[in-house]
Amino acid sequence: EIRAGKLVQMHGKLGNVEAARAVYDGVVDPDVILGNIMITAYAQNGCLVEAAELYHRMMAKDVVSGTALLAGYAQAGDIEQAKLVFDSLPQRNVVTWNIATVAYARNGYLDEATASFDRMPCRTMVSWNAMLHAFSEAQKLGDAKSVFDLMPERCQVSWSTMIEAYAREGHLVEAREAFARMPEFDIVASTAMLDGLGQNGCLAEAKAMFDQMEDRDIVPWNNLLAALAANGEIEDTRKLFEKVPCRNVVTCTAMCQALGESGRLEEAKQVFDGMMDRNILSMNAMLSGYAQNGEAEQAVKMFAQLRGRN
RNA sequence: AGCUGCGUACAGGCACA
């Protein structure tokens, strides 16, 4: 039964709801946890009707069942339904409250998010981090700082969120200071710092930060690439692009965009054609490349393709 | 009772903005 759970979960994560359901249906007497995994699989893929139906049909439910359903509506941005579900739940725990708080914040209801946070019976580190991030996103630096200072304890997520909040408002002094005060190294915090430096024109410092990083994943590469491109250093951008160990859509889209903006349409096209998986954003980059270089016809074609995807 | 663990739900960095 544990293996069935893993399977259902895996199919759900890959977006294959039918396969998940098939495995679930093959289990004779599914227990609560398996049912919860199935609800999650539905919820994460936007199958909210099915998720709700399963929830209501399940004989044995626990607090996770309802919370998983709530998470589905929250993720879909359906605040109304999410609120209805939240109010109807027989039990709520701190995760339930966290999801409600984040759901409000993500959909622009910052006051409701704050109210939810304030009304929570108890808070975990996740609750505090979520609130911190909510203020950061809403560009309420002062509130973010208050949350950060009031938190009973801070983890790496807290620090990187705070650094990002500073950097996004251009408060590099504070960002650097927070970064220096962090107890241990963290890849995400370093990357946030690097990006902040790059976005605010401190190219040399961003480079230095990049060189200092020991375990870089793709994101710092992409950030440095963006910083170079924003500085108009198209040659260096191109050189760096060649060196990126395993490029992803973001890398290629940024490169394509930069090449288009600098009038190198042929190269932009090459990068675009070499991309493994294109999405709306990469197509949009190519489209604006055509548009900016007077290729109206190609631009229109790309636009048609882009619409075909929706 | 206490401690420890678990197959399930929640928070941080990149391209368009």
- Å: A257 CA to B3 C1': 57
Return the pLDDT at A277.
Answer: 87
State the complex-level ipTM. 0.89
Helical (H) or strand (E) element with A80: helix A79-88
Match 């599914």 to its residue by tokens.
A30
Using the structure, give the distance in angstroms from the CA atom of A28 to the C1' atom of B12, rounded to a whole number: 40
Q: What is the pLDDT of residue A202?
A: 96
Distance, in Å, from the CA atom of A158 to the CA atom of A181, rounded to the nearest integer, reads 12
* pLDDT at site A79: 96
Determine contact, residues A261/A269, Cβ cutoff 8 Å: no
d(CA A280, CA A282): 6
Distances from the Cα of A16 to the Cα of A41, A42, A114, A244, A283, angstroms:
9, 9, 36, 32, 26
Indicate the residue type of A168.
R
Q: Report the C-alpha gap between A270 and A20 in whole angstroms.
A: 39
Residues A241, A242, A246, A252, CA torsion sign: positive
Cα–Cα distance list, A269 to A231, A239, A256, A262 (Å) = 22, 17, 7, 13
**pLDDT digits (tens), chain A, 310 positions:** 788 999 999 999 999 999 999 999 999 999 999 999 999 999 999 999 999 999 999 999 999 999 999 999 999 999 999 999 999 999 999 999 999 999 999 999 999 999 999 999 999 999 999 999 999 999 999 999 999 999 999 999 999 999 999 999 999 999 999 999 999 999 999 999 999 999 999 999 999 999 999 889 999 999 999 999 999 999 999 999 999 999 999 999 999 999 999 999 999 999 999 998 899 999 999 999 999 999 999 999 999 999 887 6
Burial class (CB in 10 A: 0-12, 13-18, 19+), A56: exposed
Nucleotides of B under 7 A from a protein CB: 7-16
Which pLDDT does position A308 carry in this prediction? 83
Which nucleotide lies nearest residue A4, CA to C1'? Answer: B7
- 3 state DSSP class of A68: helix
Q: How far is the CA of A32 from the C1' of B2 (A)?
A: 28
